[in-house]
Every structure is written in structure tokens, then in C-alpha cells.
């Protein structure tokens, strides 16, 4: 008896989910849903159908968990509450400031449908959030820091591409090693934005474009670049494709704290990720939590959950006895 999974939305994340399901023997891909013409969407599994999203309710009794792979800006705020009425769902909603509002809407819908819904699953929010929570609970007298990178920021790459004269671009967020080392040493400095990360951009300009002007527009762009030290390289399209086509990412959550009767001892907890593929790793986290959602639903749980609410054992295909014996 395998867990029957449906995927809604087939971009990088949806493809990552498809690959991840393949690595988990207790899971089975049942269907992929798309807003596009299904005939135009080619997936990796030869024997699994692609359907239009309008047909999804026909699968209500054929799917145990529906994994929503849309974007946080406009897709998930609508899709997750809508689908939580009829399915056990999981999403990777990552607009941190809007998580409380998203939670409330999804919780109401999931309760109405008697379903479990997991939101904001991935690595940040997700595994990084977990590490912030565990570390702050264990070392209450301390301070934590999250660093991202080295990795590709899709939002910043897009912002550069919107500049006139830019053909294509890739932006890397890079944590500043001196800041990392200060935190690792047990110090608890206050950093400016500029002191924590730098931004490195690889830009393909149109023939005859004013490169100095493009560079200036990037470096002074509010919110995206103005508060950072930014390095801009102009390269050819061939070079961009050859050396910058991957989607690596990663980062660090570090908390240091004091213990002892007079705070005489210092401890440093560090969690880090080094990822070749941001969407595939995000997908791997989501698939493990899809298993948890399935188990919780089977036990009668109802409503919206986050990584904070889910017992770790639920993520694993192993039994509690096996986990205690092999991993504790």
C-alpha cells in the first residue's frame, strides 16, 4: 500500500517532486495537474497522466496527498485554501510576512473539509525554521543568525532582467565569511545588511547597450541591491549558459548562547545546507512532509500544520521501533 500523490503545477519544483517520489518506495505518483494544455506538458513518468487543473475533483478519492507547486505571490494564496477543502495538501508558501494570514485561511478550509494541510514547507521556511526553533528553545540566552547562499536568487535575477538593455542575468547571494566566522566564534554582533551578504551578478547585455548605466542601475536598485555591496560581471550568453545554468543554493543557521550560573559557558549550534539544486532539495523536504501529512490524516488529525507541529518520526518511512533502534 503506497501513498498516492498528485502534483499541482509542473515547473522546477514539480519536476523535483516527481524525482523525489521516485526515491521513496512507499510513495506513488498518480497524476500531475496543470493550468496549461495537458498535452503540452511532458513529465518524466511515462505511465502517469497529466490533467487539466479543472479536472482535479475527479481524483478526490484517488489521491492521498496533493503537493502544490505554484508560486507564493499569486498561486498558493488561492490554491491552497481552495484545494484543502477536498484534499490533504502541502505547499511551500514562502512569503514570511504573510504566513500567519495564509495559515488562518488554509486552517479554516482544511477544517471545513476534514483534511490536513501543511504549509510553508521546504528549507526556508522549513528546515531552517526548525533549526531556529530548536536552537532558541535549547539556548534561550542567545542569539541566532541566518545566512543564505552561496546560491541563485530567482527574484534578484529577474529584477536585473527587467533592466533595459539586459538580455539575461543570474544573481548569486553570497554570505560574508568574516560575519559567519564572528558568529561561529560565539560573538553576538549586530550586522548591517551589507555586512552579512554580498551580491554577485552575471549579466548578458544586448549589443551596444550602455554597460556602465546597467551596472549603475543594478547597484542602486532599492530593496534588491542598494543596501548591499554588489559585484557586476558582463559575460556572453554562451558563458552564462555554460557556467551559470544550475540552481544551487544553501545557507547557515547559527545560534550561540550562554549557560551556567553566571553565563560563563558559550555554545554554538550550526546547521548548514550546500545544495546543488534548490528546487530538488525543496522538493525532497516537501515529499518527506507529505508522508507526515498522510500519517496525520490517517490518525484523524485535521487543520493546518507547519514543520513546528509535526513529530519528526512522521517524516520517516521507518517504524518508531526501527527509528529508536537505528537512529536514536
- Report 10-69 residues binding a second copy (CB under 8 A): 16, 18-20, 22-24, 44
Q: How far is the CB of 307 from a second copy (least distance, A)?
A: 7
Q: How far is the CB of 319 from a second copy (least distance, A)?
A: 11
Q: Is the distance from CB of 252 to CB of 175 less than 8 angstroms?
A: yes
DSSP 98-118: GHHHHHHHHHHHHHHHT-EEE
Nearer to a second copy, 28 or 270 (CB): 270
Selected binder of a second copy within 218, 283, 290, 293 (CB under 8 A): 283
Q: Is the distance from CB of 276 to CB of 85 less than 8 angstroms?
A: no
Tell the residue number behind the cell numbers 533595459, with chain if given: 164
Q: Is the distance from CB of 240 to CB of 120 less than 8 angstroms?
A: no
Q: Is the distance from CB of 125 to CB of 100 less than 8 angstroms?
A: no
Residues from 133 through 192 that contact a second copy (CB under 8 A): 133-134, 136-141, 184, 186
Selected binder of a second copy within 34, 129, 173, 217 (CB under 8 A): 129
Residues from 204 through 263 that contact a second copy (CB under 8 A): 257, 259-261
- Taking the CA atoms of residue 316, residue 322, residue 323 and residue 324 in that order, the dihedral angle to the nearest 10 degrees is 160
Nearer to a second copy, 43 or 198 (CB): 43
Contacts of 64 (CB under 8 A, 6+ apart): 3, 4, 5, 88, 294, 297
Nearer to a second copy, 226 or 327 (CB): 327
Selected binder of a second copy within 2, 62, 274, 298 (CB under 8 A): 274
Contact range with a second copy by CB under 8 A, out of 53-61, 222-230, 237-245, 315-323: 315-323
Using CB under 8 A, count the residues that bind a second copy: 71
Q: How far is the CB of 266 from a second copy (least distance, A)?
A: 5
Residues from 89 through 108 that contact a second copy (CB under 8 A): 96, 99-100, 103
Asked if 72 is part of the footprint of a second copy (rule: CB under 8 A), the reply reads no
| Strand pairing category for 49-52 and 27-34 | parallel
Distance, CA of 99 to CA of 96 (rounded, Å): 5
Asked if 277 is part of the footprint of a second copy (rule: CB under 8 A), the reply reads yes
Selected binder of a second copy within 110, 284, 295, 301 (CB under 8 A): 284
Contacts of 308 (CB under 8 A, 6+ apart): 129, 130, 133
Q: Is the distance from CB of 88 to CB of 66 less than 8 angstroms?
A: yes
Q: How far is the CB of 139 from a second copy (least distance, A)?
A: 6
Amino acid at each position: 500500500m503506497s501513498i498516492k500523490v498528485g502534483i499541482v503545477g509542473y515547473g522546477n519544483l514539480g519536476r523535483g517532486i516527481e524525482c523525489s517520489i521516485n526515491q521513496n518506495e512507499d510513495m506513488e505518483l498518480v497524476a500531475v495537474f496543470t493550468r496549461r494544455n495537458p498535452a503540452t506538458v511532458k513529465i518524466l513518468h511515462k505511465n502517469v497522466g497529466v490533467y487539466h487543473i479543472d479536472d482535479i475533483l475527479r481524483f478526490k478519492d484517488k489521491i492521498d496527498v496533493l503537493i502544490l507547486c505554484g508560486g507564493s505571490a499569486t498561486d498558493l494564496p488561492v490554491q491552497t485554501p481552495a484545494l484543502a477543502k477536498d484534499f490533504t495538501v502541502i505547499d511551500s508558501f514562502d512569503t514570511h510576512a504573510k504566513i500567519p494570514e495564509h495559515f488562518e485561511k488554509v486552517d479554516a478550509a482544511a477544517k471545513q473539509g476534514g483534511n490536513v494541510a501543511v504549509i510553508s514547507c521546504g528549507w526556508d521556511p522549513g528546515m531552517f525554521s526548525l533549526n531556529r526553533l530548536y536552537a532558541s528553545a535549547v539556548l534561550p540566552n542567545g542569539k541566532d543568525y541566518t545566512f543564505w547562499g552561496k546560491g541563485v536568487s530567482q527574484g534578484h535575477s529577474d529584477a536585473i532582467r527587467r533592466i533595459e538593455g539586459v538580455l539575461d542575468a543570474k544573481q548569486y547571494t553570497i554570505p560574508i565569511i568574516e560575519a559567519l566566522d564572528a558568529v561561529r566564534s560565539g560573538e553576538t554582533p549586530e550586522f548591517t545588511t551589507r555586512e552579512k551578504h554580498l551580491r554577485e551578478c552575471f549579466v548578458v547585455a544586448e549589443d551596444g547597450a550602455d554597460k556602465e548605466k546597467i551596472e549603475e542601475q543594478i547597484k542602486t536598485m532599492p530593496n534588491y541591491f542598494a543596501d548591499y555591496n554588489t559585484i557586476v560581471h558582463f559575460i556572453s550568453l554562451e558563458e552564462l549558459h555554460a557556467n551559470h545554468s544550475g540552481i544551487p543554493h544553501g545557507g547557515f543557521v547559527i545560534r550561540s548562547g550562554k549557560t551556567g550560573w553566571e553565563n560563563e559557558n558559550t555554545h554554538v549550534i550550526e546547521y548548514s545546507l550546500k545544495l546543488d539544486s534548490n528546487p530538488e532539495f525543496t522538493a525532497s523536504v516537501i515529499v518527506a512532509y507529505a508522508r507526515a501529512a498522510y500519517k496525520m490524516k490517517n490518525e484523524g488529525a485535521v487543520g493546518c500544520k507547519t514543520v513546528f507541529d509535526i513529530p519528526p518520526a512522521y517524516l520517516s518511512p521507518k517504524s518508531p521501533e526501527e527509528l529508536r533502534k537505528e537512529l536514536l
